[in-house]
Amino acid sequence: MTAIVKIKPEVLTAHRMRMEMRNLEDEDIENTIRMKGWAWVLARKSWVYAGEPDFIYRQLREVVVGLPDMAFDEAGIEESVRTVLEKARDDEQREEGRELLRQALEKTGQLEQAERLL
């Protein structure tokens, strides 16, 4: 089963955001993301990783792009893209986020759905 990823804004700081992953059934991937600092949140029944753009970008690169069977939440693609672009500290970081999202969405086969947002 494909793990579903969504990126949401955090309100703690201006640039902080949160990635949530649900439907993760692969024990090896679960162990990998646990080592990368993800935490299981029982109330949300999902794996969660929160941080500043640099840390979220690393998770996009290493988890969404780097691991098999990942996809973005269909209903949350717009929010995920908007969050990454709005939480960037400057134009350079925004462009890096845009490129990573493009890579991740291309890998998941969802780029066409997000093309207008990028």
Structure confidence at residue 23 (pLDDT): 96
Q: Who's near 17: CB < 8 A, 6+ residues apart?
A: 7, 8, 9, 10, 50, 51, 53, 56, 83, 84, 87
Domain parsing of the chain, residue ranges: 3-117
Res. 100 pLDDT band, cuts 50 70 90: very high
**Whole-number Cα distances in Å, 31 to 23, 51, 102:** 14, 20, 26
**Is residue 110's pLDDT more than 90?**
yes
Res. 11 pLDDT band, cuts 50 70 90: confident
**Is residue 1's pLDDT more than 90?**
no
**Whole-number Cα distances in Å, 25 to 70, 71, 83, 111, 113:** 11, 14, 26, 24, 26
C-alpha to C-alpha distance for 10 and 12, rounded to whole angstroms = 6
pTM of the predicted model, to two decimals?
0.92
pLDDT digits (tens, 9 = 90+) for 19-74: 999 999 999 999 999 999 999 999 989 999 999 999 999 999 999 999 999 999 99
The percent of residues in the chain predicted with pLDDT above 90, rounded, is 96
